[in-house]
Amino acid sequence: MIRVAVLLSGRGSNFLAIDDAIRDGSLDAEIVCVISNRPEARGIELARERKHHAHIIDHREFKSRAEHEAEVLRILETARPDYIVLAGYMRLLSADFVARYPNRILNIHPSLLPAFPGIDAQAQAVAYGVKISGCTVHFVTEKVDAGPILVQRAVEVRDDDTGDTLAARILVEEHKAYVEALRKLRPLTPSSPLPASGARGPG
């Protein structure tokens, strides 16, 4: 069973997909807290309805990114997640924040990275004219939309697609991809004790 914290800013459909998979027993995980930087996010309302530990940490109430992140980190330290899942979290994380959780923060991006990083990835894909796009679940590193990839799912781009119609079909695959990615992860184990001094290794 992995312990997961969810960070979101909006609709929360990826959070719901993960929560549904846990509830129906197809994902062995526990959501230990849900944090939104936006009070109006539908996702945080849903988290409350589902009786999760839901926290609003409005970034507009803090003087700096560092102070806002310090408050998010404070909650995470209490919740003790193995992994932090960014599910439509619309804030860039500082390098310091990422360094606190190396290979433990996941993000989902609505394109087949490394193609179309950044905002409006679905509209970028339509404008470019690619025939296949999709979504990517990756570990978060200092560089935006560039960390090691865990799962990708492809979606065909139709001739009459707009950014919105493509986004709707990619979203269906995002929900599967996030659950698939989380299934690959293992709980963190406390680091093994150091051998007693003078102890010899094998051989």
Residue 189 identity: T
Least distance in angstroms from the C-beta of 27 to ligand GRF:
16
Closer to ligand GRF by Cβ: residue 109 or 138:
109
> Considering Cα of 13, then 17, then 19, then 20, what sign does the dihedral take?
positive
Among 4, 5, 7, 10, binds ligand GRF (CB under 6 A): 10
Kindly identify the residues of this chain, within the stretch 22-51, that bind ligand GRF according to CB under 6 A: 43
Q: How far is 154 from 2, CA to CA, in rounded Å?
A: 27
User: Strand 83-86 vs strand 54-56: parallel, antiparallel, or unpaired?
Assistant: unpaired
Q: Two tokens at 197?
A: 């001094």
Least distance in angstroms from the C-beta of 178 to ligand GRF:
9
Among 6, 32, 88, 179, binds ligand GRF (CB under 6 A): 88
Among 110, 125, 134, 155, binds ligand GRF (CB under 6 A): 110
Q: How far is 179 from 20, CA to CA, in rounded Å?
A: 10
Closer to ligand GRF by Cβ: residue 13 or 152:
13
Closer to ligand GRF by Cβ: residue 47 or 171:
171
Neighbours of 119 (CB within 10 A): 8
Give the alpha-carbon dihedral of 77, 95, 111, 22, to 10 degrees: -10
Q: Two tokens at 122?
A: 């679905």
Closer to ligand GRF by Cβ: residue 77 or 142:
142
Helix axes 121-128, 163-183, angle to 10 degrees: 120
Kindly identify the residues of this chain, within the stretch 149-188, that bind ligand GRF according to CB under 6 A: 171, 174
**Closest residue to ligand GRF, Cβ-based?**
88
Judge whether 8 and 88 are in contact, CB under 8 Å.
Answer: yes
Q: Is 68 in the site for ligand GRF (CB under 6 A)?
A: no
Active site residues: 109
Q: Is 147 in the site for ligand GRF (CB under 6 A)?
A: no
Residue 79 identity: A
Residue ranges binding ligand GRF (CB under 6 A):
8, 10-14, 43, 87-88, 108-110, 171, 174
